[in-house]
Structure 1
Amino acid sequence: MTPYTLEQFNQLAPRLRQRQLLDCCYCNRWADQVQEFAPFASVEQLQNIAARVWAYLDEGDYLEAFAAHPRIGDLQRLQEKFTSAEQGQVALADASTLEELQRFNRAYFETFGFIFIVCASGKPAREMLATIKSRIANSREQEIRNAADEQAKITQLRLGQLFAV
């Protein structure tokens, strides 16, 4: 993502601004609705609007956003699309931890029908593993809520990264 000033972001053509929003959270309805509020008075206003819009979307919208993520521990896809900081310190984990993380990711997907979503920024692989283990016994409804909450955190981080400091 290219860092913008708020003024530059507000002046982007709607299609380009939507592309930047989709890079933060790949959900078309979310990006469309957030964009309706442009121009934004501040980054904080944009982040607040983004969070409010996200809270009122439905499961299909959440699943669209989840599907755009690499699985935690999927290092090949991570390297192709995302920065290593986005998945915490997973790339630094030992082979046995990564294997267990991949095994739990498969089980999670088979159980819930979507990938495990967690805001992993700066977290070690062992913490990710403990989190997935603690959530795998939840109901699907609870996991949709958990994943949506984690997606909201990820989106907030990415929105902040859109702007030059």
Structure 2
Amino acid sequence: MPNSLAGFNRRPRAEAEAELLACCASRAFAADVAARRPYTGRERLAETAAAAVRALEWPDVLEALAAHPRIGERAPGDARESRWSRQEQAGAGEGGAGLREALADGNRAYEERFGHVYLVCATGLSGAELLARLRARLGNDEETERGVVRDELAKITRLRLGKLMEEEGR
């Protein structure tokens, strides 16, 4: 069944939640956004999703982060979210071996400092830009960084919701 907005609104709740998990891998997010159907427009869906991401408890954010590969690493598999992740991180492959090594070192430093994967909305960013943002964020305190992570997760979720509606609405 095509996943146009109308189709999404009509889906059984469990199916809608499964679709939403491809956009943000938090079960609390998927349950919240699915429960608020029907949506009157894609923008309303996107706004609701962004608010739901920002309202997640930190363990729910960590659940979502667990589904994201490190910046510069290829997402495995052929699942929709893996394909999307590879598209989003296309710029991370630019810059050669030195940049890839710097990203890997930065990822390790970030994970040691904050205890989770470095998340950034990578769409349209070069490898050098991704590395610069990573290095800048290493200076954040934990509370500030949690806010940045929520904002980045909301951006990614918004992009993926758009892809979900476009990809399956054909």
Tell me if both proteins adopt one fold, taking TM over 0.5 as the criterion: yes
Q: Distance in 2 between matches of 1:163 and 1:155?
A: 12
* Match in the other structure for 1:107: 109
Paired letter, 1:73: G
Alignment identity in percent?
A: 38
Report the Cα offset of residue 112 of structure 1.
Answer: 0.4
Q: Distance in 2 between matches of 1:144 and 1:52?
A: 15
Flag as ranges the 4+ runs of structure 1 deviating above 3 A: none
Matches for 1:15-164 after TM superposition, within 5 Å: 15-75=14-74, 78-80=75-77, 81-83=82-84, 84-164=86-166
Paired letter, 2:31: D
Asked whether the equivalents of residues 3 and 161 of structure 1 are also in contact (C-alpha less than 8 Å), the reply is no
Q: Distance in 2 between matches of 1:52 and 1:135?
A: 23
Report the Cα offset of residue 154 of structure 1.
Answer: 0.3
Report the Cα offset of residue 4 of structure 1.
Answer: 2.2
TM-score (normalizing by structure 1): 0.91
Asked whether the equivalents of residues 6 and 42 of structure 1 are also in contact (C-alpha less than 8 Å), the reply is yes
Q: Distance in 2 between matches of 1:79 and 1:55?
A: 27
Report the Cα offset of residue 79 of structure 1.
Answer: 4.7
Q: Deviations over 1:124-148 (max 9, x none)?
A: 1000000001111211111111111
Report the Cα offset of residue 88 of structure 1.
Answer: 3.7
3-state SS, counterpart of residue 160 of structure 1: helix
Q: Which runs of 5+ in 1 are unaligned?
A: none
What RMSD in Å do the two structures reach over aligned CA positions? 1.6
Q: Which runs of 5+ in 2 are unaligned?
A: none
Q: Deviations over 1:86-130 (max 9, x none)?
A: 114112330110001001101100110011010000111000000
* Match in the other structure for 1:6: 5
Q: 1:111 to 1:89 in 2, by over 3 A?
A: same
Q: Deviations over 1:42-96 (max 9, x none)?
A: 1111111112222222211111111110000112xx2532343211411233011
| Alignment length (residue pairs) | 162
Report the Cα offset of residue 32 of structure 1.
Answer: 0.6
